[in-house]
Amino acid sequence: MGNAKTNMPEYFLKADDLQALLSALMASARVIAPVRSDWEEVLFEPIVNGEQATFEYENAVVSPKDFLLPQTEVLARYRRVGKSYQVEAPIEAPPQVIAGIRSCDLSAVQIWDEAIGSGEYPDPYYLARRRGTTFISIACPTVFENHFCAVLDTGPTLQSGFDLHLTAIEGGYAAQVGSDAGLRLVTEQCRFFRPSAPSELQQREQAARDAVAQFAARFDIAAVQRALSSGADLDAIGDAASRCQDCGGCLFVCPTCTCFDVRDYPTGENTGERLRTWDTCAYAGFTRMAGGANPSASRDVRVRRRLMHKLVYRLESEGLLGCVGCGRCIAACLGNISLVDLLARLGGQEKSRVG
């Protein structure tokens, strides 16, 4: 994504040229875009032709984070030679463009940059893919079911942190450049872009205002944080815990979660692989220790810990909330737990409506 730029030029991209742009980008990079399946679900997948991509969608079933931190990846391969081992740590990071990513999911990438891409021990596997990725993000034109990004300032559009950000306006898209990578993309594919007219800039700004105005989810995030940090018995937590099915679905679809497990698997008599696989703190055994002690055996504790991690701990350690309001956890929950209603209750409201 590169460093966000200010006062960068803005362009206009015809609606009919977006798929052609993606096809042109395939000459130098793998292109990942939202694709509608035979079952009408939208998933991010590598495409071989721009016409495969769809941009008329609410949000994908899962975010494209799998292309930055795969659900399962090889960290190392090892071979026993005599009494010692030879270890190879492969890092595969071909250039890629992720197109059609919504504002909330790109905000999640910014959280990952702080959580695992910086600091004293940055993740080299993530960083290699991250540095080779250019994002073409797209603003949400309207409020979608379960989304509450506007409350958290992670959507429906973005002011910074993007490479190339598209907003649908009459006849096409207003294209904002936000980084060196975005400017390079526009420069190399200049036949698809022209400078924006003043009326098109006004349309982009009005589209952003209209989208924000439609959001109905409301809760006081500062009040939520105070309630969680107080450590008091909270009926709202207990109610949510009583309905939780321990499936982990809410966290596996979450675009910001970073929990993982590492295991070694033999691939032959003298060879093996060390694999990293997504895991979730929603599982009762996630924090179980070798001696059998488990500080998070209680479901109430696990529900509260999830909220503390996303809304308090990450803000303290990385300066960003760990939730982007995409609403996937609400859609995935088998216990019909609405995170928005839960946060509203924690913040002192009885209920908050979404959409």
Domain-embedded: residue 286:
yes
Are 269 and 189 contained in the same domain? Answer: no
pLDDT for res 3: 44
pLDDT in tens, the chain (355 residues): 444 445 788 999 999 999 999 999 999 999 999 999 988 899 999 999 999 999 988 889 999 999 999 999 999 999 999 999 999 998 989 999 999 999 999 999 999 999 999 999 999 999 999 999 999 999 998 878 888 998 899 999 999 999 999 999 999 999 999 999 999 999 999 999 999 999 999 999 999 999 988 877 778 889 999 999 987 778 999 999 999 998 989 989 999 998 899 999 999 999 999 999 999 888 888 888 888 888 887 888 899 989 999 999 999 988 899 999 999 999 999 999 999 999 999 988 765 554 4
pLDDT for res 254: 95
Q: How far from 40 is each of 57, 60, 147, 355, CA to CA, in Å? A: 10, 11, 20, 21
Are 248 and 205 contained in the same domain? Answer: no
Domain-embedded: residue 4:
no
Domain-embedded: residue 353:
no
3-class SS letters over the chain = CCCCCCCCCEEEEEHHHHHHHHHHHCCCCEEEEEEECCCCCEEEEECCCHHHCCCCCCCCCCCHHHHCCCCEEEEEEEEEECCEEEEECCCCCCCEEEEEEEHHHHHHHHHHHHHCCCCCCCCHHHHHHHHCEEEEEECCCCCCCCCCHHHHCCCCCCCCCCCEEEEEECCEEEEEECCHHHHHHHHHCHHHEEECCHHHHHHHHHHHHHHHHCCCCCCCHHHHHHHHHHCCCCHHHHHHHHHCCCCCHHHHCCCCCCCEEEEEEECCCCEEEEEEEECCCCCCCCCCCCCCCCCCCCHHHHHHHHHHHHHHHHHHHHCCCCCCCCCHHHHHCCCCCCHHHHHHHHCCCCCCCCC
Domain-embedded: residue 2:
no
Structure token pair of residue 215? 């959001």
Are 64 and 209 contained in the same domain? Answer: yes
Report the largest interatomic distance among the alpha carbons of the chain, rounded to a whole angstrom.
Answer: 72
Are 207 and 225 contained in the same domain? Answer: no
Question: 213, 234, 253: which is the final residue of a domain?
Answer: 213
User: Are the CB atoms for 60 and 45 separated by under 8 Å?
Assistant: no
Are 263 and 200 contained in the same domain? Answer: no
Q: What does residue 128 show for φ and ψ, rounded to 5 degrees?
A: -60, -45
Q: Let me know if 32 is exposed, middle or buried by CB neighbors in 10 A (0-12, 13-18, 19+).
A: buried
Structure token pair of residue 257? 């979660």
Are 209 and 257 contained in the same domain? Answer: no
Domain-embedded: residue 5:
no
Domain-embedded: residue 352:
no
Domain-embedded: residue 355:
no
User: Are the CB atoms for 275 and 76 separated by under 8 Å?
Assistant: no
Question: 213, 241, 267: which is the final residue of a domain?
Answer: 213
Q: What pTM does this model have?
A: 0.92
Are 209 and 100 contained in the same domain? Answer: yes
pLDDT for res 351: 56
Are 172 and 118 contained in the same domain? Answer: yes
Domain-embedded: residue 267:
yes
- 175-214 burial, b at 16+ Cβ within 10 Å, e below that, comes to bbbbbebbbebbeebeebbeebeeebeebbeebbeebeee
Question: 170, 187, 213: which is the final residue of a domain?
Answer: 213
Q: What does residue 80 show for φ and ψ, rounded to 5 degrees?
A: -85, 125
Are 200 and 229 contained in the same domain? Answer: no
User: Domain limits at 322?
Assistant: 221-346
Sheet holding 260-266, edge to edge: 84-88, 72-81, 271-278, 260-266
pLDDT for res 9: 87
Are 262 and 194 contained in the same domain? Answer: no
CA distance 71 to 252: 9
pLDDT for res 142: 83
Query: At residue 327, what is the residue type?
Result: G
Q: Which of 304, 287, 179, 172 lies closest to 233, judged by CA?
A: 304
Structure token pair of residue 52? 């495969």
Are 288 and 207 contained in the same domain? Answer: no
Domain count, the chain: 2
Are 207 and 333 contained in the same domain? Answer: no
Give the count of alpha carbons within 13 A of 267, CB side only: 13
CA distance 127 to 118: 9
CA 214 to chain centre: 22
3-class SS letters over 143-157 = CCCCCCHHHHCCCCC
